[in-house]
Chain A
Amino acid sequence: MTNLTNSLRTQPDERGHFGPFGGRYVAETLMPLILDLEREYRAAQADPAFKAEFDDLLKNYVGRPSPLWFARRLTEHLGGAKIYLKREDLNHTGAHKINNCIGQILLARRMGKQKIIAETGAGQHGVATATVAALFGLPCTIFMGAVDVARQQPNVFRMKLLGAEVVAVESGAKTLKDAMNEALRHWVANVHDTFYIIGTVAGPHPYPELVRDFQSVIGDEAKAQILEAEGRLPDMLIAPVGGGSNAIGLFHPFLDDAEVEIVGVEAAGEGLDKKHAASLAGGRPGILHGNKTYLLQDEDGQITEAHSISAGLDYPGIGPEHSWLHDIGRVRYEPVTDDEALASFQKLTKLEGIIPALESAHAIAAAERIAPTLGKDRIIIVNCSGRGDKDIFTVADALGVRL
């Protein structure tokens, strides 16, 4: 079935390129380190003990496999295709982020690195990183934009409880992209003993590849689960895309299944003609944070600010593999606005008793748009990438409710 020469699952090439995207656009100081990381990752891939330890932690610490839930009431409400939710919100720490953090901290240990750093936007990746650092007893520093620190206090407190130091980044716009800049600056100055756990499928090669591989457990499980539940593959996958790690994790194992339509959902914020975070719909290819990919930028290549109600999607770029899948047409990317996501956040909560993350609510909104246009014999899997408890203050604020 899968012809290797025609497979869409063999990217990136040996230089880390997904078609024209990806690559290793980093300062010379970091180059030797990311070459080391790549060598160590290849060794880990070939080591059954690494996979065994990863699988054991996912099962017994993260709580995998996450369920594939048939959303009966949502399906009946929409009156079209059957909707299944991949319940990444049920993982330890409440989102898919932990899958990648487990994999990367095992790599850090193999490389003998004694300190962990990470960037975070809303704080979900920061919490997941601080969690695995606590689990392995490694000191951990999380870089977070000062604006995000102010609006995500519960997650800041969680990280501190977990023993992490949280650095409020005052440079630039003081949000996720500035946190990533500052993490890279810290890393450059501490390459000898520090491992940088990047939270999404972006950054210099081999990060987009290894984060994808660690997240592909989502799609591998979903494939087995839908075959068991329905006896066939789904007709469509839908997942939200910021950097795109949950999405690529669900999509990648299905890329060669041509009969499965794949939809990524970008954050359209206040609308594509206003402030938004849709890099594919509103951006152009460029180079930032170590990789070439679609970016929100002006005509001189200056990066412009992203906006989404979902802090996890509030980034002016997207993982390079998504840029490639967009250009070759294998994945279709659709925009969903803040208002649409807010409505779906409430709808899923009321119909299924599941409070989704605002990121995941973007995917639910796309499913609401698409499912009624498909027959009742069709099957959609939506990635419920995280739980929405972290977002209740944002949602209350948007709805004009005082807590």
Chain B
Amino acid sequence: MTRFASTFAKSQTALVAFITAGDGDTAANLDALVAGGADVIELGMPFTDPMADGPAIQAANLRSLAKGTTTADIFAMATAFRQRHPDVPLVLMGYANPMTIRGADWFAAKCAKAGVDGVICVDIPSEEDAELGPSLRAAGVDLIRLATPTTDPARLPAVLTGAGGFLYYVSVAGITGLQQAAQASIEEAVTRLKAATDLPVAVGFGVRTPEQAAQIARVADGVVVGSAFIDIIAEHGDAAAPHVEAFTRTLADAIHGAKEIAA
């Protein structure tokens, strides 16, 4: 059973936590996420031009790059994480150019070697799958696809073809960390997506509080939180880990208990 499968096989909803690699003390923050109860880790690969990200994650990308974070550094962080946490699924999330610049096969092999379970590439839609998807799948790394409010039923099968790990539902047509989607629209979308795929469905974009997360957790298999963690790291810098862990715990408690309350 893959790490994704065993994580999402649990009866409780998963907390999927995002931080940007190289922003603050990444190793300490990753450990804090796991200690606080995060179930899946998304490690952001910084890029100079993060077109789908809001102000918080844009700033995190720039802070990381200003410190000189390289792709080699990110794989070193991933490798070390896998040694410390053998069972926690790890996803690399980022943009196409840093992932493909040395060739998709190179990137896929590095992911596999580092123990990365899945990859989310913001700007490779299913139409351009050949750029990265075949290499990842051949290396046994899941390509996690995004579905959005604009993904209509006619497109959905194409989005799902070749998708693995889980399906990431971007709940707002917009950028990360800003507006929040209406709960009713999320429920409708998750129901529709789950009817079309056996993949677990995680919901993200604009989720910042335990209350929001708990609401979404009643219907989704996973809840993704990113910008709220980035804000904590921006505020506390290299000493953010205890704050990250405390916030993770409040989110995890809210998310993990959501389905029991609903039932």
CB-defined contacts of B95 to chain A, threshold 8 Å: 287
Is there an interface contact between B122 and A31, defined as CB atoms closer than 8 Å? no
Q: A295 contacts the other chain (Cβ, under 8 Å)?
A: yes
Known contacts A24-B127, A171-B58: A29-B49 contact under CB 8 Å? no
- Is A301 a contact of B100 with CB atoms below 8 Å? yes
Inter-subunit contact A289/B51 (CB<8 Å): yes
User: Residue-by-residue, is B138-179 near A (CB-CB < 8 Å gives 1, otherwise 0)?
Assistant: 000000011111111001000100000000001011110011
Residue contact A28 to B98, C-beta cutoff 8 Å: no
Q: Which one of A15, A28, A286, A303 lies within 8 Å of B159 (CB-CB)?
A: A28
| Contact indicator A287/B100 (Cβ below 8 Å) | yes
Instruction: Find B47's partner among A178, A188, A284, A302 (CB 8 Å cutoff).
Output: A302
Query: Which of chain A's residues have a CB closer than 8 A to the CB of B98?
Result: 300-302
Q: A303 and B123: CB pair below 8 A?
A: no
Apart from A28-B146, A29-B148, 9 more pairs, CB < 8 Å: A27-B123, A29-B149, A29-B150, A172-B58, A177-B49, A181-B51, A287-B123, A288-B49, A302-B47
Q: How many contacts A-B (CB < 8 Å)?
A: 117
- Residue from B71, B124, B173 within 8 A of A29 (CB atoms): B173
By the criterion CB–CB under 8 Å, are A295 and B97 in contact?
yes
* A172 and B123 form a contact (CB under 8 A): no
Shortest CB–CB separation between residue A241 and chain B, in angstroms? 21
Contact with B along A193-231 (1 / 0, CB 8 A): 000000000000000000000000000000000000000
Contacts of B112 in A (CB 8 A): none
Within 8 A of B (CB), among A30-71: 30-33
Q: How far is the CA of A185 from the CA of B178 in the complex (A)?
A: 12
Tell me if B52 counts as interface (CB < 8 A to partner A).
yes
Q: Which residue of B lies closest to A304 (CB)?
A: B48
**Nearest CB of A to B124, in Å:** 6
Give chain A residues whose Cβ lies under 8 Å from the Cβ of B70.
300
* Minimum CB–CB distance for B89 against chain A, Å: 21
Q: Which residues of B contact A297 (CB under 8 A)?
A: 97, 101
Provide the bound-state CA to CA distance between A29 and B145, in Å: 12
Residue of A nearest to B172 (CB): A189
Q: Could you tell me the dominant secondary structure of chain A's interface residues?
A: mixed
A184 CA to B101 CA, complexed, in Å: 22
> What residues make up the interface of B, taking CB atoms closer than 8 Å to A?
47-55, 58, 62, 65, 70-71, 95-101, 122-125, 127-128, 131, 145-152, 155, 159, 170, 172-175, 178-179
Q: Are B125 and A181 in contact (CB under 8 A)?
A: no
Contacts of B148 in A (CB 8 A): 27-29
- In residues 294-316 of chain A, which contact B (Cβ within 8 Å)? 295, 297, 299-303
Please name 10 pairs of A and B residues whose Cβ atoms are closer than 8 Å in the assembled complex, sorted by A.
Answer: A24-B125, A29-B174, A31-B151, A184-B51, A287-B131, A301-B47, A301-B71, A301-B98, A302-B47, A303-B49
Interface size on A, residues (CB 8 A): 36
Query: How far in angstroms is the closest Cβ of chain B from A279?
Result: 13
Counting CB contacts under 8 A, is A162 at the interface?
no
Q: Which residue of A lies closest to B97 (CB)?
A: A301
Question: What chain A residues lie within 8 Å of B159 (beta carbons)?
Answer: 28
Nearest Cβ distance between residue B42 and chain A, in whole angstroms? 16
* Closest-CB distance, A382 to chain B (whole angstroms): 33
Chain A residues contacting B49 (CB-CB under 8 Å) are 172, 177-178, 181, 288-289, 303
Decide: A191 and B97 in contact? CB cutoff 8 A. Answer: no
Contact A32 B152 (CB under 8 A): yes
Q: Determine the distance from Cα of A364 to Cα of B13 in the docked complex, in whole angstroms.
A: 64
Q: Which 7 A-B pairs have the closest CB atoms?
A: A301-B101, A189-B174, A301-B98, A301-B97, A287-B96, A29-B148, A303-B48
Q: Does A269 contact B (CB under 8 A)?
A: no
- B-facing mask of A152-192, CB < 8 A → 1, else 0? 00000000000000000001100001100100110011011
The residues of B that contact A287 with a CB separation of less than 8 Å are: 95-97, 100, 123, 131
Tell me the bound Cα distance from A228 to B65 in angstroms.
Answer: 57
CB closest residue in chain B, given A192 = B173
Once A31-B127, A287-B123 are accepted as A-B contacts, the answer to whether A302 and B146 lie under 8 Å apart by CB is no
A305 to B165, CA, bound (A): 36
Could you say which of A15, A172, A303 contacts B127, with CB atoms under 8 Å apart?
A15
Tell me the complex Cα distance, A297–B96, Å.
Answer: 13
CA distance A185 to B52 in the complex (A): 6
Please report the C-alpha to C-alpha distance between residue A172 and residue B65 in the assembled complex, in whole angstroms: 11
